[in-house]
Structure 1
Amino acid sequence: MATSVKQILEQKGSVFHSVRPTDSVFDALSLMAQFDIGCVLVTENDHLVGIFTERDYARKVVLKGLVSRDIRVGDLMTPNPCTVTPTNTVDEVMHTMTENRFRHLPVVYQGRIMGVVTIGDMVKSVVSQQQATIRQLESYIAGDLAAE
């Protein structure tokens, strides 16, 4: 049975961190550093309007010589980000992430933000599934050999 995004969020928790488009890039980076995360969601009135990532910072601030205290998140965020739902499977999310080169995807259901899943979450889930399969196969083989 395929693992769903809902199951991933149940295991890791659905906590996410957000900023407003009017917040400074410095404030967003401070929040990311405080919680050791690679992105923050950008919200207005509890609605997702964008995502701001470490990659956005590196490419849009550092390389252009801008000052993070002077720039607003709304000027650099990725607007209207791609999202997934709790019913999407790990395989579907991995495909979306790989095709689009995303590392973070907001989880949204009926307009409500449910959390964020990362490429690390997906890899952890795949590895866990593979380990469970290996254990089942080992048990099956050991059972067959014991019967002979």
Structure 2
Amino acid sequence: MATSVKQVLEQKGTTFHAVRQTDSVFDALSLMAQFDIGCVLVTENERLIGIFTERDYARKVVLKGLMSRDARVGDLMTANPCTVTPASTVDEVMHTMTENRFRHLPVVQHGKIIGIVTIGDMVKSLVSQQQHTIKHLESYIAGDLAAE
């Protein structure tokens, strides 16, 4: 059975960090540095309206010569970001991330933000699945498994 985003969140937790679109880019970066994270969600009245990532900063602030204390998150965020649900599988999320070159995807259910998953979370889940399969096959080959 395929691992779901819900199962990944049960392991990693549902904590996410958010800013408002009127916040300065500097404040968003400070929050990202404080928690050693690569993105923050942008919310309005607890509703997801965007995502602001390290990539947004590098490409939209640094390269354009903007000042992070003056620039607003809302001017540089990725609006209406792609999201996944708790029912999405790790394989589906990996496909979405690979095809679109995303490293972070908000998890949303019924319009409510549930958490966020990263490419690292997906790789960790896949490695865990593979280790489980290897152990299962080793036991089978060794004759340790009871009849199923």
Give your verdict on TM over 0.5: yes
TM-score w.r.t. the length of structure 2 is: 0.96
Identity of aligned residues (%): 85
Structure 2: how far apart are the matches of 1:118 and 1:106?
Answer: 9
Q: Give the length in aligned residue pairs.
A: 144
The 5 Å alignment of 1:16-95 reads 16-95=16-95
How far apart are residue 142 of structure 1 and its match? 1.0
Separation (CA, whole Å) in 1 of partners of 2:58 and 2:10: 32
Alpha-carbon RMSD: 0.7
Q: Which 4+ runs in 1 deviate beyond 2 A?
A: none
Shift of 1:62: 0.5
Q: Which runs of 5+ in 2 are unaligned?
A: none
* Residues 109-139 of structure 1 deviation map (CA, whole Å, 9 limit, x = unaligned): 0000000000000000000000000000011
Alpha-carbon separation, structure 1, partners of 2:140 and 2:73: 54
The superposition leaves residues 48-93 of structure 1 with CA deviations (integer Å, 9 ceiling, x where unpaired) of 0000000000000001111000000000000000000000000000
Q: Deviations over 1:34-56 (max 9, x none)?
A: 00000000000000000000000
Structure 1: any 5+ residue segments left out of the alignment? none
Structure-2 residue corresponding to 1:134? 134
SS in 2 for 1:43: strand
Q: Does 1:116 align with 2:84?
A: no
Taking the aligned partners of 1:28 and 1:9, their CA distance within structure 2 comes to 23
Name the TM-score, length of structure 1 as normaliser: 0.96
